Structure 1
Amino acid sequence: MQVRNDILFHSLHADGLLMLANCWDAGSARIAQAAGARALATSSAAVAWSHGFADGSTLPRALLMASVEGILRASALPLTVDAEDGYSDDPAQAAALAGELIDAGVVGINIEDGAGTPALLADKIGAIRALADARGVKLFINARTDVYLRGVEPGARVEETIRRAALYQEAGASGLFVPAMVAEDDIAAVIKATRLPLNVMVRDGVPPLARLLQLGVRRLSAGSAISEATFGCIDALTRQFLDSGTVNQAGFPRMGYGALNSLMG
């Protein structure tokens, strides 16, 4: 009997390290799947940039949903979506967005405290959990806290992260995402203090994979890094073409027309 994707996605956090090479459209999702990804995740920044919008809840919801639907058309892997702040300060509206994503076939979301208060994110998580439970979906709610990204006093970061983790777990979160936390001691302290699977993000200073496993990290996200590299290649090659009339991909890996056409077919 086939395991439901929502249950499968939860199980991928139970042991080992889930690697999420964040995608932004159907094509990047197919590449991730072909490369061996066990699940898919979007990056809010990458999705926004692919549509010509800045990151930060500026992307129209219709375009977010179009990207999600494209990814789900291209791949049957479990998909978690970066919902930023839920696109609203109203927990009911954040839950309504989660409902749209659930209806589309999404099995996980990231939702962040960002510039808002921890209490507000807890309210959003509670509303989303209630909606998902009512629909019989075991939605993986990955609570992202921006304690490190927002520059909280260094000496208080671990304590504040642990405090928020407890609040978000009580509200119904399934996991904890702490981008920009890279120090081993900080990672170990947070893991010891919470039962939520810990998600960290690729960043200079992040311990190597073997060490992350030893520490007990359960999820590693690429974030916007792959998209940044992709757009960097586009920028460099576009400028080269406009300057010289040539496209010399030396230094940039190239899949080739045939390989790409076969993959997308």
Structure 2
Amino acid sequence: MTTQIQQAQVLHDLHVKGNPLVLVNIWDAGSAAVIEHTGAKVIATGSWSVATAHGYEDGQAFPFTDVIENLKQIKQKVQLPITIDIEGGYGHTPEQVFQSVQMIIEAGAVGINIEDQIIGEQRLYSVEEQCARIAAARQAADQLGIPLFINARTDIFLQADPLSSASVQKEHADHALTRAKAYARAGANGFFVPGLSDPTCIQMLCTHSPLPINIMLTTDTPSVSELSAWGVSRISYGPSPYQQVMNTLQQIGQDALMS
């Protein structure tokens, strides 16, 4: 049986520049089993999908005890490495992040997403604050002896005006690169930039970031083949799989009632 340490190493090894790990994000044990059967290499949750599927809003409204229980159910259903979106770490302080991450690892995960947005506010933690939180996550993993893959997410581009000028976009990209370098020093393993779709900025980050770059697919994002060619190491589908499944379910219900 593959150990948790081995699964963590598999997750690390799958982040290859130009040959990205593609993640179709799931929300519960049933959706995880479906994705495993497609030949996926890793199971990854998305916080929005998980929260919505369980009747909650995104933004850590889904109770952390339920996050853990959902993870345990997924773990019982699949054999693949599991990476969990824990939003802001379910705590502001490094100490709270430390506790959350230890519980996530003990429940079976080998990777996390942790964001630098302050939950409930339209601003980010300072670089120093977020580095302390990432370092706490790394310390929690080290104490348990698991080489956890910490995917450090920045919300710079999600909070930015999508119609901003090229010069402003470059400023955002430069800011992101500063954070990528700092997060790497703090113990992160990947850098997640949801909301980024500008080809020049993506290529710049892939070239200069010390961490593998993770892009989330949207209607505005370049194609998987283009992202691969530019050096992206991880591509996430985010909430779109859940949305598409629910749209299909809605159509089935409407068709059934009209028949």
TM-score by length of 2: 0.89
Cα distance in 1 for residues equivalent to 2:210 and 2:124? 24
Partner AA of 2:95 in structure 1 = A
Within a 5 Å distance, the mapping from 1:35-54 to structure 2 comes to: 35-54=38-57
Cα distance in 2 for residues equivalent to 1:87 and 1:121? 13
**1:64-110 superposed Cα distances (whole Å, 9 cap, x missing partner):** 11111111111010100000001111111111111011011100000
Partner AA of 2:131 in structure 1 = A
- Give the secondary structure class of the aligned counterpart of 1:149: helix
Distance 1:30 1:2, change over 3 A: closer
Larger-Rg structure: 1
**1:108-140 superposed Cα distances (whole Å, 9 cap, x missing partner):** 000001133133221110001011112111000
Distance 1:192 1:155, change over 3 A: closer
Q: Unmatched 5+ residue regions in structure 1?
A: 247-265
The structure 1 residue matched to 2:236, chosen from 201, 221, 224, is: 221
The residue aligned with 1:123 is 132
The residue aligned with 1:250 is none
TM-fit CA distance, 1:185: 0.8
The structure 2 residue matched to 1:176, chosen from 188, 191, 205, is: 191
The residue aligned with 2:59 is 56
The residue aligned with 1:263 is none
Contact map agreement 2:173 2:201 (CA 8 A) in 1: yes
Partner AA of 1:9 in structure 2 = L
TM-score by length of 1: 0.87
**RMSD (CA atoms):** 1.6
TM-fit CA distance, 1:240: 4.7
- Give the secondary structure class of the aligned counterpart of 2:156: coil
TM-fit CA distance, 1:205: 2.7
The residue aligned with 1:197 is 212
Cα distance in 1 for residues equivalent to 2:254 and 2:223? 35
Distance 1:230 1:2, change over 3 A: closer
Distance 1:144 1:10, change over 3 A: same
Q: Unmatched 5+ residue regions in structure 2?
A: 118-122, 162-167
TM-fit CA distance, 1:2: 5.2
The residue aligned with 2:109 is 106
Cα distance in 1 for residues equivalent to 2:87 and 2:135? 16
The residue aligned with 2:164 is none
Larger RCO of the pair (alpha carbons < 8 Å, separation 6+): 2
**1:205-241 superposed Cα distances (whole Å, 9 cap, x missing partner):** 3222222121110000000010111122233433554
Contact map agreement 2:196 2:215 (CA 8 A) in 1: yes
The residue aligned with 1:93 is 96
- Give the secondary structure class of the aligned counterpart of 1:203: coil
54-63 vs 114-123, greater mean Cα deviation: 114-123
The residue aligned with 1:11 is 13
Cα distance in 2 for residues equivalent to 1:25 and 1:155? 38
Cα distance in 2 for residues equivalent to 1:195 and 1:90? 26
Cα distance in 1 for residues equivalent to 2:234 and 2:102? 24
The residue aligned with 1:186 is 201
Percent identity between the two aligned chains = 34
Contact map agreement 2:207 2:231 (CA 8 A) in 1: no
- Give the secondary structure class of the aligned counterpart of 2:129: helix
Task: After the TM superposition, list the runs of 4 or more consecutive aligned residues in structure 1 that deviate by more than 3 angstroms.
Answer: 235-241
TM-fit CA distance, 1:154: 2.7
- Give the secondary structure class of the aligned counterpart of 1:233: helix
Cα distance in 1 for residues equivalent to 2:246 and 2:73? 20
